Structure 1
């Protein structure tokens, strides 16, 4: 697809990059069959191909209006289309560029800007998110059921190992995860302790940058990334083997640090090194040897939900399934595994009705074989699905820890 770039974008690096990305699209339409928002609405402007055309119009006309912004906002950034695309279209990268441009080309009404800024402020600051969450958890027993379900219940975390191994890896505590599901990383530290690895957090590391970056606040997102690199770098120089994430949404962002900071001379090399060192917790456990965990699988039937960030961004769609099957667990039959559950970061807040429809579809697909438990690999999906599921939804690492250590 050829783009005649508008003269006002002649010296705009982002616009030039976007036009190059669009050129990979061959109009085939294969992406439509795997796009959750197109399948939901039937409107091609809510498909990857439709949004590519809208961005092409922006780059050629030099302007865009609320309609373009609305259809870009409706995208989940699940990147299922990238897995389907026969020409290697980097749609997620294009969409991020387009969302950054649209904030200038089609400014939002004041209240909408303020709301999105508030979300970015709260969700990208772990301490602030925890401060907002705690009162809701205290009041949860007194709230109407529909509202109480939206607030994650406090978790029993259990002790973290106190012994120090010669091998050491860094863990990203996360913004939402650190406050809403702290049991996940506590479980991860116990599992890796069983494998002879100490999993530690760098105190000054914070948000991975995804919340800001995917909402079009690129500079703030890049600043989050730089801050993390500064926090991790002394630990890496001291011998940390890897940067481990147990939230695939965060992990997919860290894996892109090298690309996103490639033009920053002060951080490009370090960012690329960080991206190379990143490992999802599933990669670590699979590589270090499942036999060391010495698990005795129970009889429960487990449905595995594979987050979009894991299968389409990280390309590890069978990672958790392979581990659980290798350990002897009974897995439930599921369907439409490639379609998004509707969580997608802040999407479940900003596009609530569509998000809820996608969640209903996903839960039906996960519960078709009557599982006793649903496990997932991303905190956002865990909380979103758990809000309306008829069976418990947990992070698969928490489940594995329970089986291995009784969920200490």
Structure 2
């Protein structure tokens, strides 16, 4: 793609990054076939190619509008287009920079600003847990869309008493310990079963994704730096061997710390070091698949559908490894159509863009429902779990919970 940057973009480091990414695009349109928002809306400007044109026009001097902002907002940031693109266009990075530039030039409406501010403050607040408990108690009077975001909590259960020589850090993020405490507890017990202990920190900390995707970039960068200052010394001192993520959304975001901290040389060095030590839970357990499979013999549910979150398959490329692990542990995986397509959760997206998120959820559940038999849906991201569960009576669980159940029987 030919570009003719405006002077301000030529003088900007981010403008140069945008220019490099834009020049890789060859207008082929393959991305449209796998773009979830385009599948629902059918608007060229709600496809990666259309959004690329909007960003290109902006860096070439055209003033962006609220309409441009809306089309960029509608992107789920699933990165499916990157998996599809034959030219290697780094659309995710382009979109992140483009959104920030548009937000600098276009002031959002009051209602939109208030909603985003409330979500950012609420999800990062120490009072979030209390809000969840109150919400569950009064679920019957809550709007259906909000009640669906409050899944029934499963008890965390016991914590292992044994301390192993191998230790990893399992960060307790902003919302998962309150919404679904059983996921972290199950992760700790399964790690213990293969001789790995979870190192505990005195305080929880968000990875920064929530603030970043709600336009609170400054707060997000502070959270990233805090995590780097906390986690990197533990790695360098040999107290832990890895940072293990059991939410693929958090893992995908943390692996992009170097990009988000590209203008901060001190923290960029720390981020590059950290990324080499960030592992998805499946990566840590993969070498122990046969061992776990022997313990789980005949203790897993019947046929299940594995929903691979976009942050697992498109951002991190870990779908094959995870499915191999699940199969080797004894899961009977049922294939279904459009498994590459986003379910519509995408962090807070389902709250901000329900008119797209809900049809995508229903489309995903219909695809799974047409594949039989399926007794349960398993996944590896809490956001996908709660979003899918809000549309089906079929159990939706994190696969590590199911493994833990099997080991406990």
Cα offset, 1:233, TM superposition: 2.6
TM-score w.r.t. length of structure 2: 0.95
Deviates more, 1:8-17 or 1:359-368: 8-17
Q: Work out whether residues 207 and 224 of structure 2, in 8 Å CA contact, stay in contact via their aligned partners in 1.
A: yes
Q: Work out whether residues 148 and 386 of structure 2, in 8 Å CA contact, stay in contact via their aligned partners in 1.
A: no
Cα offset, 1:174, TM superposition: 1.6
Give secondary structure in 1 for the equivalent of 2:271: helix
Cα offset, 1:260, TM superposition: 2.4
Distance of aligned partners of 1:271 and 1:56 in 2 relative to their CA distance in 1, 3 Å threshold: same
The match for 2:303 among 301, 304, 314 is 301
Q: Work out whether residues 32 and 49 of structure 1, in 8 Å CA contact, stay in contact via their aligned partners in 2.
A: yes
Q: Work out whether residues 48 and 91 of structure 2, in 8 Å CA contact, stay in contact via their aligned partners in 1.
A: yes
- The answer on 1:180 being equivalent to 2:167 is no
Other-structure match for 2:261: 261
CA distance in 2, matches of 1:62, 1:215: 24
Cα offset, 1:154, TM superposition: 2.4
Matches within 5 A, 1:9-408: 9-125=9-125, 127-140=126-139, 148-239=147-238, 240-292=240-292, 294-297=295-298, 298-368=300-370, 369-406=372-409
CA distance in 2, matches of 1:154, 1:310: 24
Cα offset, 1:321, TM superposition: 1.8
Deviates more, 1:153-162 or 1:276-285: 153-162
Q: Map Cα deviations across residues 242-278 of structure 1 (whole Å, 9 max, x no partner).
A: 0000000000011112232233122122111111100
Give secondary structure in 2 for the equivalent of 1:58: helix
CA distance in 2, matches of 1:392, 1:20: 45
Structure 2, unmatched stretches of 5+, are none
Q: Work out whether residues 3 and 56 of structure 2, in 8 Å CA contact, stay in contact via their aligned partners in 1.
A: yes
CA distance in 1, matches of 2:207, 2:256: 11
TM-score w.r.t. length of structure 1: 0.95
Q: Map Cα deviations across residues 106-154 of structure 1 (whole Å, 9 max, x no partner).
A: 11112211211111122234x2322321210122366687764332222
Distance of aligned partners of 1:21 and 1:216 in 2 relative to their CA distance in 1, 3 Å threshold: farther
Q: Map Cα deviations across residues 10-50 of structure 1 (whole Å, 9 max, x no partner).
A: 32222222122111111011101011111111111000000
Q: Work out whether residues 188 and 398 of structure 1, in 8 Å CA contact, stay in contact via their aligned partners in 2.
A: yes
Cα offset, 1:157, TM superposition: 0.9
Q: Work out whether residues 252 and 309 of structure 1, in 8 Å CA contact, stay in contact via their aligned partners in 2.
A: yes
CA distance in 2, matches of 1:202, 1:389: 36
Q: Map Cα deviations across residues 180-216 of structure 1 (whole Å, 9 max, x no partner).
A: 1111111011001011100123234511111122233
Give secondary structure in 2 for the equivalent of 1:274: helix
Structure 1, unmatched stretches of 5+, are none
Distance of aligned partners of 1:218 and 1:292 in 2 relative to their CA distance in 1, 3 Å threshold: same
CA RMSD of aligned residues (A): 1.7
